[in-house]
A and B are shown apart, each in its own frame.
Chain A
Amino acid sequence: MSIVNRRDLLQGGAGVALLAALDASLLGEAVAQEQPKRGGTLAYAQLSANRRSAGPNNSKHPYFIVDANTKQIWSTPTWVNPELGLELEIATKLEPADDSLKVWDMTLREGVMFHDMTEMTAADAVASFDYHRQNAPFARQITKVEQTGKYTVRFTLEAGNAEFGYVLAEYNSPIMKAAPLETIGLDGIGTGAFKIVQSDPNRLMILERFESYWRKGLPHLDRIEIHNREGQQESALNGLRSGQFDAVMNIDGRAALQFQNDPNFEIETARGGYSFVIQMPKHPGSPFLDKRVRQAFAYAIDREAIVRVAYSGRFGWIGNDSHLMVTDAAFVPRAGGRDVAKAKQLLAEAGHPNGINLGTLYWSPQLPEAGRYFQVLQQSVKDAGITLAIEERPNDGYIQFRTGDNDLSKGNFHKFAMTAVGSRNPGISLFRMRAAFVESGHWRGPEHDKYLALYNQAMITPDAAKRKAIYAEMQAILHEEVPAILPAGGNTLMVKRKHMRNMPYHPQIWSIRYEEIWRA
């Protein structure tokens, strides 16, 4: 079992120096030399919110506050770093009990205090995960969670999962103070670096430093004010310009560019935030039943042009037709790039020497650049003789529209459509291309079966390097079979004032380390 344990490594005396050297190499000389200052407030606005509107009675529950803020107040057993690697957080050890990878033992850090100054123990973790496994989709694979010692917990899963550690880093995996299922979490008490002093549902949350935070010497900030500006980017940016906010999270790339030449501001991006998947229906009579048409489509798309036009060349990346983000260590780029000639040849072989009409590709404005994105896509495939119409549909009811109920007898197959996908670990991302899921276009056949067999094998392969090799093999299948196309993705970004230091962005917005941020 070999999960990188960076923090443990750095706990010793030599660790600090090493960390400084590491930071210096990552962040550059000038910043690294500055000593973090203690105190001050960070006020920021966030434009994205999860959809679980809180009310006054549950506004302190981790499930009902904006996911991006959970880890300021609560700690999770593990943490996903900006390279999407897994690290231990409040757990000091996480190991499978056997090779089936169905049973995992976790050891918790000792001496971690809740905000009410009681010590966190395995009982709290068991109560918390009992709640999570019944309420959070990603934790549903946990069939049993039991206390095995004061600080040790055992998870039993429904099937082996080599990447179970990622589940424990989800925003819906915080450790709350033990309480009955009905009331757990409502007190808003966690072990995080900040504690809640005021919570105004859907609008405002004010946090203050927790003096007994388990990471000694942290946090640097005294106070954080989080302003929800969901759907109100202009108001958020006005607040940034007027100095009311120090940062705005999840800003649209075009809006961010107006700050790029202002010396007071910095644009922070996290590579590989999200992507778009084009689901290609494979019902009888669909042109997409023919692998060569799918391949031709994949070769014909000018992915560089999409990054250039829709992402200003800076805030996007080229996808590889899997759900993996470019940031992921397991990500394998498609070989060859764009090849119009090959696309034409494939179409000719498939019986479309004069080009092919693929019908209408539907999209919804889930992200501001979607319109430009699909216009570029539509134009670029014309070079290979592929024509398609693009049609915008409202976000309202889009999922139902896009997926249909798959009742072929009623002609209700899912649409030729796109949707946005988020950043997750390979185990989750690659699973999305299974036949039973709409995003694969209900891809079937021996290659699919091989793909799924590889996936199942990876899930019970403890060795990360071996898993990575399996993942590469799976992506090779996708590059050949092209069950779905993920042409390009975007980076998440924020604009902040320069005086906020050590505040890098993260592909998973909920994994930003706020306790390390300081104010100059």
Chain B
Amino acid sequence: MLIAALRRVLLSVITLVMLAVFIFIATEIMPGDALDVSLSADEIAMIPPERLAKMKQDLGLDRPAHERLLAFLNGAITLDFGKTLISKTPVSAIIGYPLRNSLILAGAVLLIAIPLALAIGIAAAFWKGRAVDHLVSTGSIIGYSIPEFVIGTILVMLFAVAWPIFPATITASTRDPALTLLASSPLAVATVLIGSIAYLARLLRTGMVDALASDFVERLRLTGIPEWRIVFLHALPAAVVPSLTALALYAASLVSGIVVVELVFAYPGLGQELVRGVTRREVHVVQAIALCSAAVVVALNLLADLAILMLDPRTRRA
């Protein structure tokens, strides 16, 4: 088991390095460079061409790609992603708080969504084909298929404009404490939550339906074991195991990918910083965020794999 775990850790590290190289290559081929977008056209009009070339040189934009790749990989190990091209700010200082904030939002959502989705998924699977199940299935399809910005906008119109009990846009600072941030973001949390519960409930319902249809559940029922023991002690772990990888991916997508919700509510998370980085051609910021997102995906996948190792003894053969 230890060897199996170590093997997965090492695999994750290799994956991450490969992703880092890929991210570097992908960001290198973006059109334009930091200078074009960091200066307004009005200002560029006033700068002689030879001075522009000099500025590019100062920014290191003329160095060969492999040199910059090595510098990037070297920096990534020490969490030093370089400085922004124009304001010369360390990238880590720029993305630190947004990363934390994205983790806070994703964490809060998952903390509420997972238990609720578990309860809903178990109930729907247990009473499969009954009214509860139909209600859950319909509800989750609706909840999952409506785009987040529609849900968000509806929530704002209802609870911030028509009936102003919650803030419509988040005015908290990037560096506010977690609870302050969450307290000022109820509608953003609710928006993500609706989609999350819908998705996770469906996921767990499917897993639970499969688990309840398995031979061991039938054997237990034929032995007269109480239903609650069957559901919670036997079927539940079996339902969760196949869902764990999907759950990890979903959680990772919450950390790195709630761009829409961040834009609708102006939540100070990683998605906003990424959008800003791309529009401003801050290559180092984009690289660092992409790498952080990749690291979150890889880390959560690793966690899922390790959890599966714990829960499913069949996978422990290494």
Chain A directly contacts chain B within the complex, with at least one CB pair under 8 Å: yes
Contacts of B275 in A (CB 8 A): 231
Contact assessment for B36 and A234 in the assembled complex, using a CB-CB cutoff below 8 Å = no
Contact assessment for A56 and B89 in the assembled complex, using a CB-CB cutoff below 8 Å = yes
Query: Is A390 an interface residue when CB atoms closer than 8 A count as contact?
Result: no
Contact assessment for A229 and B174 in the assembled complex, using a CB-CB cutoff below 8 Å = no
A231 to B36, CA, bound (A): 18
Contact assessment for B31 and A397 in the assembled complex, using a CB-CB cutoff below 8 Å = yes
The residue from A138, A242, A395, A399 contacting B44, defined by CB atoms under 8 A apart = A399
> Which of A22-30, A84-92, A196-204, A340-348 is found at the contact surface with chain B?
A196-204
* Given known A-B contacts A57-B89, A138-B46, A422-B42, A241 and B282 have beta carbons under 8 A apart: no
Question: CB-nearest residue of chain A relative to B278?
Answer: A396
**B147-172 interface bits toward A, Cβ cutoff 8 Å, 1 = contact, 0 = none:** 00000010010001100100111010
Contacts of B263 in A (CB 8 A): 231-232, 234-235
> Which of A47-55, A372-380, A492-500 is found at the contact surface with chain B?
A47-55
A399 to B263, CA, bound (A): 27
> Which of B129-137, B264-272, B298-306 is found at the contact surface with chain A?
B264-272
Contact assessment for B173 and A203 in the assembled complex, using a CB-CB cutoff below 8 Å = yes
* Given known A-B contacts A137-B47, A397-B31, A53 and B87 have beta carbons under 8 A apart: yes
Contact assessment for B87 and A64 in the assembled complex, using a CB-CB cutoff below 8 Å = yes
Query: Is B175 an interface residue when CB atoms closer than 8 A count as contact?
Result: yes
Contacts of A472 in B (CB 8 A): none
Contact assessment for B46 and A140 in the assembled complex, using a CB-CB cutoff below 8 Å = yes
Residue among A202, A235, A397 facing the most chain B CB atoms (10 A cut-off): A235
Query: Is B276 an interface residue when CB atoms closer than 8 A count as contact?
Result: yes
Contact assessment for B40 and A227 in the assembled complex, using a CB-CB cutoff below 8 Å = no
Contact assessment for B93 and A56 in the assembled complex, using a CB-CB cutoff below 8 Å = yes
Contact assessment for B40 and A239 in the assembled complex, using a CB-CB cutoff below 8 Å = no
Contact assessment for A432 and B41 in the assembled complex, using a CB-CB cutoff below 8 Å = no
Query: Is B39 an interface residue when CB atoms closer than 8 A count as contact?
Result: yes
Contact assessment for B153 and A137 in the assembled complex, using a CB-CB cutoff below 8 Å = no
Size bracket, chain B contacts: 35 or more
A26 to B36, CA, bound (A): 41
**B167-185 interface bits toward A, Cβ cutoff 8 Å, 1 = contact, 0 = none:** 1110101110000000000
Rounded to whole Å, the gap between the CB of A157 and the closest CB of chain B is 14
Contacts of B37 in A (CB 8 A): 51, 395-396
Contact assessment for B39 and A235 in the assembled complex, using a CB-CB cutoff below 8 Å = no
Contact assessment for A397 and B94 in the assembled complex, using a CB-CB cutoff below 8 Å = no
Rounded to whole Å, the gap between the CB of B262 and the closest CB of chain A is 9
Contact assessment for A242 and B160 in the assembled complex, using a CB-CB cutoff below 8 Å = yes
Query: Is B280 an interface residue when CB atoms closer than 8 A count as contact?
Result: yes
Contacts of A43 in B (CB 8 A): 171
**A51-92 interface bits toward B, Cβ cutoff 8 Å, 1 = contact, 0 = none:** 111111110000010000000000000000000000000000
Query: Is A419 an interface residue when CB atoms closer than 8 A count as contact?
Result: yes
Query: Is B243 an interface residue when CB atoms closer than 8 A count as contact?
Result: no
Query: Is A244 an interface residue when CB atoms closer than 8 A count as contact?
Result: yes
Contact assessment for B46 and A137 in the assembled complex, using a CB-CB cutoff below 8 Å = yes
The residue from B43, B173, B265 contacting A200, defined by CB atoms under 8 A apart = B173
* Given known A-B contacts A58-B89, A231-B275, A238 and B160 have beta carbons under 8 A apart: yes
Contacts of B42 in A (CB 8 A): 421-422, 424
Contacts of A236 in B (CB 8 A): 169, 266
A437 to B41, CA, bound (A): 12
Rounded to whole Å, the gap between the CB of A483 and the closest CB of chain B is 15
Rounded to whole Å, the gap between the CB of B59 and the closest CB of chain A is 13
A230 to B277, CA, bound (A): 12
Contact assessment for B282 and A53 in the assembled complex, using a CB-CB cutoff below 8 Å = yes
Question: CB-nearest residue of chain B relative to A405?
Answer: B49
Rounded to whole Å, the gap between the CB of B284 and the closest CB of chain A is 11
Query: Is B138 an interface residue when CB atoms closer than 8 A count as contact?
Result: no
Rounded to whole Å, the gap between the CB of B165 and the closest CB of chain A is 10
Rounded to whole Å, the gap between the CB of A362 and the closest CB of chain B is 15
**B27-45 interface bits toward A, Cβ cutoff 8 Å, 1 = contact, 0 = none:** 0001110001111111111
Query: Is A130 an interface residue when CB atoms closer than 8 A count as contact?
Result: no
Other than the given A53-B84, A56-B89, 6 more pairs (CB < 8 A) read: A54-B89, A202-B276, A203-B268, A234-B263, A241-B160, A399-B41
Q: Which residues of A contact B (CB under 8 A)?
A: 43, 45, 50-58, 64, 137-138, 140, 198, 200-204, 225, 227, 229-232, 234-236, 238-239, 241-245, 394-397, 399-400, 419-422, 424, 432, 437, 439
